[in-house]
Amino acid sequence: MLNLLKKSPLSARIGLCIVLLNFLVALLAPLIAPYGETSVVGNVWESFSSQFYLGTDHLGRDLFTRMVYGARNTIALAFLITTISFLLGTTLGFVAATKGGWMDQILSRIIDILMAFPTLIFALMILSVLGSSIPVLILTIALLDSTRVFRLSRAVAMDIEVMEFVEAARLRGEGLWWIMRYEILPNAMPPLVAEFGLRFCFVFLFIASLSFLGLGLQPPLADWGGMVRENSGAITFGIYIPLFPAAAIAVLTVGVNLIVDWFLHLSSGLHE
């Protein structure tokens, strides 16, 4: 692993540093943050100082503290949703490819129906009706995101399940789940891992977008997208506080994509 990191390009190292820093901040949020997540500790939109490293927000809460807790809330939620969507999408995609026939047709048509609706509009419709509670938010985004994972995992599995080693496993009498777990999954890992990174970025940005629209994580929970919306009025007065959470969203997204690009280069078998 160390040798692999030593041979990695500068862009991949930068991406790893960005991602590790964000995850450490998310894990150690209560230890890093100087104030409580919802504590009002100053006046509205105070400037930088030794007391408030990034100033205060529209209610007088410490912006640095909100950024730290926002990292924990947003990243944890995005990672959980991405994991659920991959478990669901990959399992159904492998089943569709391995079973084929009517099972493949039914699952594929259901996915086609879900993908026929624009993702954001479909999510807004569901969240407007059912509310923006965290369980509803998780299930809604995970379900919508799993359709993309299904398409990829099904395509990859269909290429693998016609291989000779899979046919040999069938002739030995191995069952569906054994073939999916021990024959298809190990050979499908490179594209799935790369897709996991891309899906994480999509979910992360999607949560931020919903929060900006007021349908994501609800106040008083800290969320980077919601922080941009809450402090957007500061721009009118020449105060650039909303740029901090916006920049954090952009930097983390770029960092994950740099790692994904490096991993795709490794899994492709190409060399400089």
CATH number of domain containing 179: 1.10.3720.10
In a domain, 124, yes or no: yes
Range of the domain at 212: 56-268
In a domain, 156, yes or no: yes
Residue pLDDT, tens place only, 182-213 = 888 888 888 888 889 889 989 998 998 888 88
Beta-bridge mates of residue 61: 40
In a domain, 20, yes or no: no
In a domain, 177, yes or no: yes
Name the pLDDT band for 83 (thresholds 50, 70, 90): very high
In a domain, 41, yes or no: no
In a domain, 228, yes or no: yes
In a domain, 7, yes or no: no
Total domains, the chain: 1
In a domain, 15, yes or no: no
Residue pLDDT, tens place only, 25-70 = 999 999 999 998 888 898 888 888 888 888 888 889 999 999 999 9
Q: Is the pTM of this model over 0.75?
A: yes
